[in-house]
Amino acid sequence: MIILKTEEQIQRMREAGMILAALHKEIAKIIKPGISTMEIDRFVEEYLEARGAYPEQKGYQGYEYATCASINDEICHGFPRHEKLKEGDVVTIDMVVNVDGWLADSAWTYPVGNISEDAQRLLDVTKKSLYLGIEQAVIGNRLGDIGHAIQSYVESNGFSVVRDFVGHGIGQDMHEDPQVLHYGTPGRGQRLVEGMVMTIEPMINMGGYQMKLDDNGWTARTVDGSLSAQYEHTIAITKDGPIILTDQDAVE
Ligand code: MF3
Ligand code: CO
């Protein structure tokens, strides 16, 4: 069942989203060779606590950290760790922020120092695919329009769309209906209506889309060892078009 949100509820989610967007911009400043993802995780916890917000992932189905930190061939749900990031790594930081019970979810892939041209192209294509998906998130379109926009752009650039993880409705729960696939057929799937709030979060691999799960039962990585990137926003569908609730351009 899809839980539609009122304007007031969307506004409350935007408050969580703006804290999350500002936090991503702070992370961008501190990520460099020599820092560890565990240090970033600590920074996130302190940043949120100081603002009366809670890292919703911590404690979610037994997950122990404020962030997911997925390095290089890790697709998602990487555990923060003490090992230092190295020049040339790419790392996706994924966070869900809770402000007074209302949530926002956003992931961003960061280059660590100088990265290869190929890796930079993966990041650029993945980010652009997210925005092409968002463009389709208008009343009257269907979920398949979002998936198709992402998939066709990504595949025309020679990369692949991960199938095993999808975007999702979000509100007072992290995962609500509907599932938002990052591949699909135009004109197919759930029709988009005013008040839907969902994430779009394409995970894009340089090689094949297949993934395998680590022994920890959480971390997904590419089967072929190729790099993976992800950009995620929480968006609301409104009469005025999609509103990006986690927009980093909307904060200092
Ligand atoms: N933020 C992730 C998502 O986009 C969820 C991570 S799973 C968790 O759905 F357990 F770590 F929270
Ligand atoms: Co999400």
pLDDT digits (tens, 9 = 90+) for 25-49: 999 999 999 999 999 999 999 999 9
- Count how many domains the chain has: 1
Per-residue confidence band for 70, with pLDDT thresholds at 50, 70 and 90: very high
Pick the atom of ligand 1 nearest to 61's CA.
10
- What's the gap in Å between 167 CA and the centre of ligand 2? 6
What pLDDT shows up at residue 252?
Answer: 87
Residue 60: per-residue pLDDT: 98
Tell me, in angstroms, the distance from the centre of ligand 1 to residue 144's CA.
Answer: 23
pLDDT at residue 44, as a whole number: 98
Q: Return the SS3 of 126.
A: helix
Q: What is the CATH number of the domain that holds 57?
A: 3.90.230.10
Model pTM? Answer: 0.98
Ligand 1 atom showing the smallest separation from residue 94 Cα: 1
Using CB atoms within 10 Å of the CB of residue 30, give its burial: 0 to 12 exposed, 13 to 18 middle, 19+ buried: exposed
Q: For residue 2, is it within any domain?
A: no
Q: Across residues 145-172, what is the average pLDDT?
A: 99
The Cα–Cα gap between 222 and 205 comes to 7
200 found inside a domain? yes
Question: Helix, strand or coil for residue 12?
Answer: helix
* E-state strands within 112-174: 160-161, 167-169
Q: Which of 65, 94, 166 most suits a substitution to test ligand 1, by most atoms within 8 Å of the C-beta?
A: 94
Q: Give the Å distances, CA to CA, from 66 to 58, 59, 193, 200.
A: 5, 9, 32, 20
- Cβ of 94 less than 6 Å from ligand 1: yes
C-alpha 193 chain-centroid distance: 22
150: number of CA atoms within 13 Å, CB side? 33
Over residues 76-94, the mean pLDDT reads: 98
9-28 pLDDT, tens digit each? 999 999 999 999 999 999 99
| Confidence band of 83 (pLDDT split at 50, 70, 90) | very high
Tell me which residue range forms the domain holding 149.
7-250
Residue 35 covered by a domain? yes
Per-residue pLDDT, 226: 98
Name the nearest CA neighbour of 228 among 205, 202, 200. 205
Contacts of 15 (CB under 8 A, 6+ apart): 99, 102
pLDDT of 139 over the 90 cut = yes
Is 1 among the domain residues? no
What pLDDT was estimated at residue 146? Answer: 99
pLDDT of residue 23: 98
Cβ neighbour number for residue 173 with a 10 Å cutoff: 13
